[in-house]
Amino acid sequence: MYRHNKNQIRVRYFISTSLTGLVLLIAALSPFMSHAQEDISLPTLGDATSGVISLQQEKSLGQYWLKSLRRQVKTFDDPVVNQYLNDLVYRLIPNSELSDRSVQTIIVDSAQLNAFAVPGGIVGINAGLFLYANNEQEFSSVLAHELAHLSQRHFARSVERQQNNTPLALAGLLASIVIGAAAGPDAGLAVLAGSQALSVQNQLSYSRQNEQEADRIGINTLYQSGFDPYAMPAMFERMLQQSRLQGEAPPEYLSTHPVTESRVADTRNRAEQYPKVAVPDSLDFYEMKARVIIHYANSPNQAVNQFQQAVKNSTGNEQIVQQYALAAAYIDAGNPGKATPLAEALTQKYPHNLIYRELYGAALLAEKKLASAEEHLKTSLNFSPKNYPLQVLLARTYETQNRLIEAQSVLKVLTKENPQRPDLWYQLAEVNGLAGDIIDLYRARAEYFYLLGNFEKAQENLRLAIKRNGDRYPLNTVLQSRMDSITREKKENRF
């Protein structure tokens, strides 16, 4: 398993390529800024045809940026944790002020505290947010805040405000997020400080206005979604304490979202305007947190020892969480025989809980009880046929059994339903290769590299697919069409 002490691999390369991307981005943004000098009014929010940058242009920028991020930092691809985050975001979205409710989520593989919203409907977090939040309420407060940034189009407003130096300001802003995720807060701040066209004082002042608005709207989103509005000031208060403890090296999130005593007080006052609500604690959040703790443990055995003690020292719901965590730690440590009875007991006690069902399936698969794993996963999918983690696990079970056609079938459905997930295309490419379907191997690899923004390798794989296919119609038309599409995007992309 990828460990925390490897997180800084390729950091220097990331910084170099991000700085290069910053310069190239200035050229990429010029079509979006052509009218910046003529119209200094704020865009009409929600109107895709007004303002300096339309909603469609924001979406294009966001997709370009997302490819750049994936290319330069490692993502946290645990299907269970990603499904949890996605479900939680989509629980908040109906109660947000977003006009376009199509949102993508991404988790950066970093134990540092960070979260960000990128124009075009992208909400990202570092896996470390699970470690810093005490409960699901606090975790959700950060997501609600980021959704508010998107709904109020603070990016477009910043473009209007920075009209005379917008390209460099925007390049610095987006590049700092990439570098901050890769190398930590100091590098991200260095990029912002090094962008000579930025007025730091003005940018910070305006940022605080955006933050206040996002706090207000985020608290309302929290309450309307059934969460405790007091969770936001509670989270901010602990962030403030964290920034004081870390002195000159606060988490990246606190560099881009400054937290002050007045801001904590303001959010507390806003929360007091809502009725007191009793919100039940979510075990799911603590179980996701446990998966992240296991991921960043110094060793698998350390995680096992930690959760063995936690099981002994806990009762009730807390003990249920610790049993889940211990089973997951046993699987990670290569000891699934001890995980299986724990996971089975949880599944029997809570038969409709898909998180426990996935854990039991993973334990059976790791123990090479393949027939049992297959039967269990198929039964579990009857509860939720499109459950992403269960489908991924079923595909791996088929692959382990060398039933490659069935594995391909599951993965093709998954990539159709989740076309923006590079890890799925990578897994499909591997299975296609094992099955001897070389054209499909090249096609899946092309999509994988495309989502990482490596257009050259995507084109290379499509060329290989076209060459192998020859002039056989209609696949040659499909392949050439995809090649043309990627070639056009490569010309437009400057990240």
Output the known binding site.
Answer: 145, 149, 211
**How far apart, in Å, are the Cα atoms of 185 and each of 45, 75, 176, 252, 329?**
31, 18, 9, 4, 30
Of the candidates 228, 210, 200, the residue with the CA atom closest to the CA atom of residue 137:
228
Q: Interior CA angle at 170 toward 165 and 173, to 5°?
A: 125
3-state secondary structure of 106: strand
DSSP state letter for 107: E
φ/ψ of 105, rounded to 5, equals -115, 150
Q: Which of 58, 77, 136, 146 is catalytic?
A: 146
Handedness of CA 132, 361, 444, 9 (dihedral sign): positive
The residue behind tokens 């590098």 is 187
Q: How many CB atoms lie within 10 A of CB 454?
A: 16
Which residue type, as a one-letter code, is found at position 378? K
Angstrom distance (rounded) from CA 377 to CA 464: 36
Does 437 qualify as catalytic in the annotation?
no
Active site residue 215: yes
Neighbours of 283 (CB within 10 A): 18
- Would you list which residues are annotated within the binding site for Zn(2+)? 145, 149, 211
The catalytically annotated residue of 77, 78, 215, 399 is 215
DSSP, collapsed to helix, strand or coil, labels residue 423 as helix
Distance in angstroms between the alpha carbons of the first and the last residue of the chain: 30
Radius of gyration of the chain (CA): 23
Q: How far is residue 312 from each of residues 320, 322, 329, 492, measured CA to CA in Å? A: 11, 9, 15, 58
Which of 44, 29, 31, 267 minimizes the C-alpha distance to 168? 29
- Judging by beta carbons within 10 Å of its beta carbon (0-12, 13-18, 19+), is residue 201 exposed, middle or buried? exposed
The catalytic residue positions are 146, 215
